[in-house]
Amino acid sequence: MIEICQFGAGRIGKVHAANIAAHPSARLRYVVDVDNAAAAALAESHGAEVTDADSALADPDVSAIVIASSTDTHVGLIEAGARAGKAIFCEKPIHLDLRRVDACLSVLRECNVSLFVGFNRRFDPSFAELQAAVQEGRIGRVEMVSITSRDPAPPPIDYVRVSGGLFRDMMIHDFDMARWLLGEEPVEVFATGSCLVDPAIGAAGDIDTALVTLKTGSGALCQIGNSRRAVYGYDQRIEVLGAEGMLRAENRLPTSVEQATADGIRTDPPLHFFLERYEEAYKRELSSFIDAVSGGKMFSPDGADGRAAQALAEAALASLESGKPVAV
Amino acid sequence: MIEICQFGAGRIGKVHAANIAAHPSARLRYVVDVDNAAAAALAESHGAEVTDADSALADPDVSAIVIASSTDTHVGLIEAGARAGKAIFCEKPIHLDLRRVDACLSVLRECNVSLFVGFNRRFDPSFAELQAAVQEGRIGRVEMVSITSRDPAPPPIDYVRVSGGLFRDMMIHDFDMARWLLGEEPVEVFATGSCLVDPAIGAAGDIDTALVTLKTGSGALCQIGNSRRAVYGYDQRIEVLGAEGMLRAENRLPTSVEQATADGIRTDPPLHFFLERYEEAYKRELSSFIDAVSGGKMFSPDGADGRAAQALAEAALASLESGKPVAV
Amino acid sequence: MIEICQFGAGRIGKVHAANIAAHPSARLRYVVDVDNAAAAALAESHGAEVTDADSALADPDVSAIVIASSTDTHVGLIEAGARAGKAIFCEKPIHLDLRRVDACLSVLRECNVSLFVGFNRRFDPSFAELQAAVQEGRIGRVEMVSITSRDPAPPPIDYVRVSGGLFRDMMIHDFDMARWLLGEEPVEVFATGSCLVDPAIGAAGDIDTALVTLKTGSGALCQIGNSRRAVYGYDQRIEVLGAEGMLRAENRLPTSVEQATADGIRTDPPLHFFLERYEEAYKRELSSFIDAVSGGKMFSPDGADGRAAQALAEAALASLESGKPVAV
Amino acid sequence: MIEICQFGAGRIGKVHAANIAAHPSARLRYVVDVDNAAAAALAESHGAEVTDADSALADPDVSAIVIASSTDTHVGLIEAGARAGKAIFCEKPIHLDLRRVDACLSVLRECNVSLFVGFNRRFDPSFAELQAAVQEGRIGRVEMVSITSRDPAPPPIDYVRVSGGLFRDMMIHDFDMARWLLGEEPVEVFATGSCLVDPAIGAAGDIDTALVTLKTGSGALCQIGNSRRAVYGYDQRIEVLGAEGMLRAENRLPTSVEQATADGIRTDPPLHFFLERYEEAYKRELSSFIDAVSGGKMFSPDGADGRAAQALAEAALASLESGKPVAV
């Protein structure tokens, strides 16, 4: 039985806490949050205790920590956890500044501690099946990857301001998917973008609509399209063209009901947002972390994956700013 | 080059005439219709001549006739054609009275002339592929066939009155599909029906909504559902369950466009009615007839198929009237 | 907080126990099973205790019982539960003998206790949305209901022998769906069936392939098709034709992945069997029961629904045996 | 009745000739081709005559010409046709050299003659419905367009050598679709590409896999992905994201048959190539040309559209060669 301390009792913290509590080999031991009431409520609903970071990390029964607190707390907790010898799960990003990420990864190496980075989409049943099929060679060598990723509605403008921008905050997930599916590293990034959804996002120095093109050393191509608004719901699709076929994962709909009338045939819009679409992915993600901790296995995705996706986000930003492709 | 005389210049006559004219091995030589103006217009648009039945049948250059005139003229024209030694295509039904059908088939046998009966659905690309897959054994032995056949809207009540009723007029096509897909003859028919769409249909002694169950000697089952009204369009679907799988043919939509909005995802309703849905089927049907005439091959479906489907319609009517299953 | 005693620690018992344990307003207090080891294992994993029926029913803290033990124990436990004043959830069927069902329902009435009958399919998200759409009148008056329900593979022959036969064991779920969707009671039942899948099923006096036709007082029609074998997976589909449109609920697939190769486009087969397909339905079903107990609301489906579906199964059996439609 | 002379009796020439012949307001009067036998065969099958260009253009009964001969003959025939005052339909491209295109368009202006450029995809029923929906504002302002266009297999290498390269030969159709759907002109083009399918294509100085990004003055984005090989068939899809929804047109399949077995559910691969997929589009395209000639209406797409798409192809080539985005 793995005893776990979780940092963060917010929206995503609640998801992880419930998944830990439901896992047969794990136990939620502590919840830590600056909002004591939130921590207490979450702890109570899963039979855990509220404590502070130092106490939790000092408890030798705690063998793993799950970091779902705000981004600015990530590196501090990762490093403290590493020094305490805990197995670490952390939501992306490690830090918005890539140099700080590198410093953090150094600490992990020194402490010989592994980091599991929360790229939840790898655990989505459809995306996971698609990637497994690519790996098995069912469509031959990968030639072109297309990733569509659109939020139903833009986040609050206050969030936009501290988010690090669309590439670091939103497209980072797609950069991870791209690397995972291409099976090799992009060597060139070209980004273009616009502010079409909300002028306030532009005023905050960000874009809300973007297209990015990646090219790998072997010449495989990848396109990623992001929008902060898709009024029909959370749009998360991937397709991979290979020498021997094509694989694609379409959106998931809440029900299979079709309504045929004189106006046409109507089906449900896609699942609304990430909590609904990735419910199963979050469950499998935590399970993968817990199983790897239990079994002494390597983490995947790990800190290097977290860093690599973020490096692509930085390159995309540099491309957007310079108006030219950027070598990675 | 097969020279053809066509009887009937109405809606379906126009379809056949155009398909004859476009066929590389056939030529539309004559058009015959009680409505001289209609005959003239159709003949002109395809470079044919208007004539009467006797003259057409007496012309030795005419080797085949296509009968698309009103139902009450069918047996007379078939028998005259048979006596003139022409290859014959006739729209279903041969005659609404099964004894008269039998007499007609006797004349054909005496004259050693074959009859191609216009069960157009066998030539629909989807249904034809489905049946070929069944025959190739791709789903093993057939266990259950389900046929859904719904018109977009009921015919005029004057038509209903002379149609012979839903089983003889509408479900006869489905009985043919059932026989074709089951690969053996039904031995029992149970029919139930209601008048739900239009009380005038009931007042005319007919039903507009029906369910029929067939059972074959080996125990395979078949259900056929008909309605005179499906506001979303012409609903023509078939599914076959076998020991090793299931095949189904869904409706065809006019376009592949999907519109996703906050209200859901909308696609087109099915192709509106038989002229649209079976456009390709009519083309292939005439082509099959012409090719069989040219090549001296057997017709399929033939007069025996026409009779067998009609016998099932009679059995269904007897079942509806008696309220009990009827042996065939 | 509702304290619950669960009877039965088998396959479906485990599902219910987990759903009770995860419900915020319920607590699994006791597990009772003739197999003490199974009871102990299940109790332990959810922090419950093993006890016997008498002790559980005597505990005033227990306000509800969930019966998921073998069919022959149902009426005894329902009646004991009723006399102890507990709210009762029971898996279908109440009893294989309709007279014994009636006696049991009498006891419930005397004790003024309600029974929630486990027709899980009403809680499937797709079927529930479909039924809600019918009730809201989105397709107008219901004219024809088609229910397809096929198991991936037949049950063990020992189970077949004690199951009560296909109509009572398998199609009973579809009879419940039919009543729920038709919105009125069937007045006539015609059943036909065959043994096509496994001769051992026939030797046991049962059928494995069946078609049933229902007709209501107002003339609405319903067809139900069952097979004990669909090699492609658990096939659970419903469609409803109304005066103003058609609604259908298709199967759910495990993933949304499509693989396009020269051989065609391949998607996943449907979710394998009821534990997978109805996972969410079981969760919502227990939640509905618990919420109704908490809120003092009426149960739906209730004992009368259980009895009505079973009466249709009896009528189907009588029809199969007599070869004629049976009035209900 | 419009009398037409057609230049070119090859693969696409046969398609146009048949569509002219079948049109109620047009007559195929002449066929001109350097291959006399091909011209004679095509002329004969549609009741036309073989002649040479000068004679055809000198015939005052000929009011329109259809140019489907090899690319190097296009400008000469367009200019001769313009001087003879004929209405002109020409397959794309006008000429591979943009300056020569401009000179040709000047001649057309001088002669006050219009040119209909053969961008057949605008007449595909699905793409046409999609564009009409965009224009009607059903998804609000256009924000992002995604065009996928993949051939089933690469053309012969001899064709590749004279084709002008992937952008001018293949993606030119997609540039036209992009302009048509964006509703405004792109101002920036970024292209990247690889040779992944066949090294011989690379040896010929071309690419076989490409991604292009367009940006308009208002900030709308467009991505176009091309591959010379999709083993599953001709892949032609479009999607448009707007402020109020998303429209997409998926591939068309030859039949609607689904085969469900233990291996999954299989449907047909897409229609194989352009003759199959765009059969209906070619028919509607010629019909649009003939109707515009008959009715004295403006042509769409016209010479300016042909030039604009080609200018985007040139810009893409310049971007590929320079490795940087190019302003248009």
The 10s digit of each residue's pLDDT in C298-311 is: 999 999 999 999 99
Instruction: Please indicate if any CB of chain D lies within 8 Å of the CB of B250.
Output: yes
Residues of A in contact with D243 (CB under 8 A): 196-197, 229, 231
Strand, helix or coil at D294? Answer: helix
Nearest to D232 among C262, C268, C269 (CB): C262
Dihedral pair phi/psi, residue D243, rounded to 5°: -65, -25
Q: What percentage of chain A carries pLDDT values higher than 70?
A: 100
pLDDT in tens, A174-221: 999 999 999 999 999 999 999 999 999 999 999 999 999 999 999 999
Claim: this prediction has a pTM higher than 0.90:
yes
Dihedral pair phi/psi, residue C66, rounded to 5°: -120, 120
Q: What is the pLDDT of residue B319?
A: 98
Instruction: Please indicate if any CB of chain A lies within 8 Å of the CB of C276.
Output: no
Can you tell me the mean pLDDT for B213-227? 98
Cα distance between residue A237 and residue A227, in whole Å: 13
- Closest of B326, B75, B311, B318 to residue B172, by C-alpha: B311
Q: Do C249 and A257 touch (CB under 8 A)?
A: yes
Shortest distance between the Cα of A296 and any Cα of chain C, in A, equals 25
Closest residue of chain D to B259, computed from CA coordinates:
D247
- Closest of A141, C208, D302 to residue B144, by C-alpha: C208
In the predicted model, residues of chain D with pLDDT beneath 70 are: none
Under 8 Å CB pairs connecting chains C and D tally to 50
DSSP line for C136-185: TTTT-SEEEEEEEEE-SSPPPHHHHHHTT-HIIIIIHHHHHHHHHHHSS-
pLDDT in tens, B130-175: 999 999 999 999 999 999 999 999 999 999 999 999 999 999 999 9
Q: Which residues contact C75 (CB under 8 A, 6 or more apart)?
A: C94, C95, C100, C101, C103, C104
Label residue B151 exposed, middle or buried (CB < 10 Å: 0-12, 13-18, 19+): buried
* Beta-bridge partners for D91: D118
Q: What is the pLDDT of residue C292?
A: 97
- CB of B230 within 8 A of CB of B152? yes
- Count of other CB atoms within 10 angstroms of residue A253: 18
Q: What is the pLDDT of residue D39?
A: 97
Interface of C with A in 172-191 (CB under 8 A): none
Strand, helix or coil at C76? Answer: helix
Interface of D with B in 24-83 (CB under 8 A): 24, 45
- CB of C164 within 8 A of CB of B229? no
Tell me the C-alpha to C-alpha distance, in Å, between residue C40 and each of C33, C45, C73.
9, 9, 20
Can you tell me the mean pLDDT for A234-243? 98
Using DSSP bridges, classify how beta strands D26-32 and D2-7 pair: parallel, antiparallel or unpaired. Answer: parallel
Closest residue of chain B to D124, computed from CA coordinates:
B255
Instruction: Please indicate if any CB of chain A lies within 8 Å of the CB of B257.
Output: no
Instruction: Please indicate if any CB of chain C lies within 8 Å of the CB of D254.
Output: no
Nearest to B264 among A260, A261, A268 (CB): A268
Q: What is the pLDDT of residue C269?
A: 96
Sign of CA pseudo-dihedral A38, A41, A45, A47: positive
Q: Do D269 and C266 touch (CB under 8 A)?
A: no
Q: Do C249 and A261 touch (CB under 8 A)?
A: no
Residue B99's pLDDT band (cuts 50, 70, 90): very high
pLDDT in tens, B100-127: 999 999 999 999 999 999 999 999 999 9
Edge-to-edge strand list for the sheet holding D62-67: D49-50, D26-32, D2-7, D62-67, D87-91, D115-118
Q: Tell me which DSSP letter residue C212 carries.
A: E
DSSP line for C50-73: E--HHHHHH-TTEEEEEE-S-GGG
Disruptive mutation site among D265, D267, D272 for chain C (greatest number of C CBs within 10 Å): D265
Please give the structure tokens belonging to residue D32.
């001109």
- CB of A84 within 8 A of CB of A57? yes
Using DSSP bridges, classify how beta strands C221-227 and C142-150 pair: parallel, antiparallel or unpaired. Answer: parallel
Place of tokens 């299931």: B246
Q: Do A256 and C126 touch (CB under 8 A)?
A: yes
Kindly report the average pLDDT of chain B as a whole number: 97
Label residue D142 exposed, middle or buried (CB < 10 Å: 0-12, 13-18, 19+): buried
The radius of gyration of chain C from alpha carbons, rounded to an integer in Å, stands at 20
Q: Do A192 and D188 touch (CB under 8 A)?
A: yes
Please give the structure tokens belonging to residue A229.
């608004």
Closest residue of chain B to C233, computed from CA coordinates:
B245
Q: What is the pLDDT of residue D184?
A: 95
pLDDT in tens, D306-319: 999 999 999 999 99
Instruction: Please indicate if any CB of chain C lies within 8 Å of the CB of D262.
Output: yes
Instruction: Please indicate if any CB of chain C lies within 8 Å of the CB of D257.
Output: no
Q: Do C231 and B244 touch (CB under 8 A)?
A: yes
Nearest to B257 among D45, D130, D268 (CB): D130
- CB of B61 within 8 A of CB of B48? no
- pLDDT tens per residue, chain C (328 residues)? 899 999 999 999 999 999 999 898 999 999 999 999 999 999 998 999 999 999 999 999 999 999 999 999 999 999 999 999 999 999 999 999 999 999 999 999 999 999 999 999 999 999 999 999 999 999 999 999 999 999 999 999 999 999 999 999 999 999 999 999 999 999 999 999 999 999 999 999 999 999 999 999 999 999 999 999 999 999 999 999 999 999 999 999 999 999 999 999 999 999 989 999 999 999 999 999 999 999 989 999 999 999 999 999 999 999 999 999 999 9
Residues of B in contact with D262 (CB under 8 A): 245
Q: What is the pLDDT of residue B255?
A: 97
Q: Do A231 and D211 touch (CB under 8 A)?
A: no
- Count of other CB atoms within 10 angstroms of residue A94: 25
- Closest of D229, D189, D222 to residue D207, by C-alpha: D229
